[in-house]
Amino acid sequence: MRPELQTLLELQEIDLKILALKKELDKAPLHLNTLKEAQAKKEEELNVLKERLSSLQERKFEVEDELQMETERLKKSQKKLTTIKTEREYHALLKEIDEIKKANKEREDEILEAEEEIEKVTAEIEAKKKELDEINAQVKNEEKVLAEKTKEITTQMDALNEDRAKVEKEVQPSLLSKYMFLRDKRAGFVVVSVVQGVCGGCNMNIPPQLFNELLRDDRIYTCPTCQRFIYAKRPDETG
């Protein structure tokens, strides 16, 4: 293999490692993002429950106030019975008392239902808080893990970029320009082998005459299909 291609292969190996690390860095926050979505969902569920509890408590207080006022009214009406002089007024007041008692019974039932619902929602809130605490702990831990992983990957990338800068200086400007152009279009694979006349980049056959010239290794060749830099490799060769 020509020295120029060997240098490009070294550059390609470094670039592929950098690309893999970039992908890993992009993928690293995915689990944290999933946890944060679950965290936000639990917080929203908790807020809904708290609003529900507040509404129940407010309604309970309202009904209790109504019950208290109507109980006082009932006492006054019952006391008034002893002062009624006509039978018509007496029966009217009895009817009023009966209606107050009936309404108060409904209020008492509503208060009991509200108390049961308040107890139920309060329990749900406590359970939801525990769930949220667990997710918060997971988020905190994942943030720590992510920070450590990001630092580790960044350190590796910095070292690779230093190595890359050294290798890049050894590449001819014209070759480097073409390499950079192809690298972005070919997912990082710019220099590939040709085995039995087949390009390792696009898996297409190259013309027989070109393959024969490639075997002579007298200059740099490119694949006519994918334009990658190519070199001949016999089936029994490694690398």
CATH of domain 28-168: 1.10.287.1490
- pLDDT at residue 167, rounded to an integer: 96
In this prediction the pTM is: 0.71
How far apart CA 210 and CA 198 sit, in angstroms, is 11
- Where in the chain are the domains? 28-168, 173-232
Instruction: Tell me what the mean pLDDT of segment 185-202 comes to.
Output: 93
Hey, what amino acid is at 50?
K
What the block records as the tokens of 227 is 């334009």
Q: What is the pLDDT of residues 215-227, one digit of tens each?
A: 888 899 999 999 9
> In whole numbers, what is the pLDDT of the chain averaged over residues?
93
The CA–CA distances, whole Å, from 220 to 29, 124, 167 equal 42, 72, 19
The pairing of strands 229-232 and 191-195 is parallel
- pLDDT at residue 57, rounded to an integer: 97
How far apart CA 95 and CA 97 sit, in angstroms, is 5
